[in-house]
Amino acid sequence: MTISYFTKHYEAPQQVAAAARHHAWIAEHARPLRQPALTVVGPTSLTYERIEGRPAQREDLQQLATLLGDAHGAAWVSDLRPAPLNTPHRFQDGTAFGDYLGPRETALRRRLEQGYLPDKAALHAMLRLLEKTAEGPTAFYKDSNPRNFLITETGTVFTVDTDDLTLAPMAYDLAKLIATLLLTYGPLPDQAIDSALAAYNQAAGRHDTRLAATERDRLDDFLALHAVLTAPYVGRNGYRYGWPPRRPRPRGSA
């Protein structure tokens, strides 16, 4: 079989170094995620093995939820346990991850300027929600949208585009996958989301039982954040569908 390659170009050497470090960190600490081999590191480019596969679809959600839970659990046990969510973190090998709060607070303020939030009261509500979710064990965020998974004809899942990793709470990246699947393919059945969360918790909990505690209301909080953060991309990049109304909470819940 002939192996082909793909070269990705960057504006600065610092971006190349960060992307290469993140690829290596995933390979060492989040081994359930299989990545294309990184073959050449150039001054302003990285060359990878080219993977032939399709992007994720709705029917892949439970499998990918299990994969993410397994990867987040492995990374927490291996290297993420001491990393706080509210400050950038540099690991012993020099790899650096951005924090959870800072970049998302900046993005939410930008959404107000762009007109995706109606007023400052709405912005402050989203900032409070962001602050509320910044708790619990630390995972990583790799932007789990359908295009960032390639599924081969044999069913092997490859994870691509791991250039920019940040810290995030457990299941935040699962929520990004759910959000972008519904933006790409339309609404998902509530049962499918519940099943995906259960699969994620079960896979993460195999590494440590403390990692299996994400509840549906917390996942819905993450989805509400993603609804605002992804708003500029609706209608672009294959996101053909808008956001459905947020799931109503049972009476008496917070």
In the chain, domain spans: 53-233
| pLDDT for the residue numbered 252 | 43
| pLDDT for the residue numbered 246 | 59
| pLDDT for the residue numbered 3 | 81
**Tokens 């209608």, located at residue:** 235
Tokens of 57: 């679809």
| pLDDT for the residue numbered 237 | 82
Give the pairing of strands 138-141 and 166-169: antiparallel
| pLDDT for the residue numbered 93 | 78
CATH number of 53-233: 3.90.1200.10
Torsions phi, psi of 250, nearest 5?
-60, 150
| pLDDT for the residue numbered 245 | 60
Tokens of 73: 């659990």
d(CA 250, CA 44): 52
Cα angle 186-217-244, degrees, rounded to a multiple of 5: 25
| pLDDT for the residue numbered 247 | 54
Q: Which residues of the chain have pLDDT under 70?
A: 1-2, 245-254
pTM, two decimals, is 0.93
